[in-house]
Structure 1
């Protein structure tokens, strides 16, 4: 099960992980993704992070009045934003419930459970809490429309509470369901990933911001990512706290 999220969205300002103004890997995610800043706010779920960047329609001229919503994306312009300038980072992004930087369990076991942990460049960063093995890694997804699209991991989630170390689901070989039980219209499972508006459109989701769309996904190496709009802007930045 997959839901949709977007850079600049404030899902729940009362939660520490309720905002896409920041991500688990980048405290200035919205700013770095768009280059836009209206000011900083303390009521975004990540207080102090720059507000104003949005991967979708936005309104408000100040941090206090800023809002950010999503929009339909189509192949006509490569699923890129229609209401914002060309993004500075890849609009084809997603999250998975394994935070190898801020979750103590995930950080402790990432060298043994992340399949690429012992190959370059990751092998040079064992014990480095400022380097993520997950951020920017590529994922292949097949959506409700049967189309295969590609995106980069840029956040961690979804999660019921603070369990961002769901290694069995993220890396397991037996098709385990997510530990998370929330954010899903499917009574058999919770949501296992959030995808960006670009991926929402590319994969043919029924709703712009719904909870009933399913995907199949797997990790892929960068060398195996085919040409497509997901390579127009590639995110290469590492952890920024």
Structure 2
């Protein structure tokens, strides 16, 4: 569990959580389809398929039966989008988002997607990445980055959407109440949330380390070949007897 006395970001407590999933069809209670996200027009395709929330169609590693997700199955939505469109940010974004300056690349490119958060329910804490906006509203920076309560009034005033993987790890039901806060990558402990996904910092780091190790081994082997060839050139055939 994150250490409260050293936490850079404070906990949001007693927040209603609802479950959502990649590929979710629109319903009366949720009119927004989730084959796309606020930041990814091909979310379901990039995820690798339908993240079936049915517990009987999920594996013990918190993923759906039938395919291995290409993105982190531990994901959430929070009710703020920093972008107006793909060319511009909201005017308050640079002021309210603590890490805006460090992650800004260009106008219209979100600095929120992929941010890690901790979700606490009872004695369990799960870690997930921010991958979509909602529930219901996308402009509630007073709650997401401030001290206000969620302004959404639908679904019992839900203030966070959690994926089936998060739900199953925590053992929480939809409309259950949880606490959450932002965390830095360095605060994310070992767990199933570090195992999968091209969008996952730990997966990409592991791949980079393996690639670096491969390069170092290849370079060393090439150096040994040069040393061998140089030895035989200097010593001629006599050295091979």
Q: Is the TM-score greater than 0.5?
A: yes
Structure whose alpha-carbon radius of gyration is higher:
2
* 1:199–1:138 distance in 2 versus 1, CA, 3 Å: same
Q: Secondary structure at the match of 1:102?
A: strand
Q: Secondary structure at the match of 1:32?
A: helix
Q: 1:200 aligns with which of 152, 167, 177?
A: 167
How far apart, in 1, do the equivalents of 2:66 and 2:57 lie?
Answer: 15
Gaps of 5+ in 1: 35-52, 57-69, 185-189
The residue that corresponds to 2:211 in the other structure is: none
Q: How many residues align?
A: 184
Q: 2:116 aligns with which of 122, 127, 138?
A: 138
How far apart, in 2, do the equivalents of 1:156 and 1:31 lie?
Answer: 18
Q: Secondary structure at the match of 2:119?
A: strand
1:151 aligns with 2:128: yes
1:216 aligns with 2:179: yes
Q: 1:230 aligns with which of 186, 193, 200?
A: 193
TM value normalised by structure 1: 0.69
1:72 aligns with 2:55: yes
Q: Secondary structure at the match of 1:118?
A: helix
Q: Kindly state the Cα deviation for residue 11 of structure 1 after the two structures are TM-superposed.
A: 2.4
How far apart, in 2, do the equivalents of 1:229 and 1:74 lie?
Answer: 18
Worse-superposed segment, 109-118 or 90-99: 109-118
TM value normalised by structure 2: 0.69
After superposition, the CA RMSD in angstroms is: 2.7
Worse-superposed segment, 84-93 or 105-114: 105-114
Contact 1:138/1:222, CA 8 A, preserved across alignment:
yes
The residue that corresponds to 1:20 in the other structure is: 34
The residue that corresponds to 2:76 in the other structure is: 94
Question: Quick check: which one's helix share is greater?
Answer: 2
The residue that corresponds to 1:115 in the other structure is: 98
The residue that corresponds to 1:170 in the other structure is: 144
Gaps of 5+ in 2: 1-15, 201-241
Q: Secondary structure at the match of 1:155?
A: strand
* 1:235–1:2 distance in 2 versus 1, CA, 3 Å: farther
The residue that corresponds to 1:67 in the other structure is: none
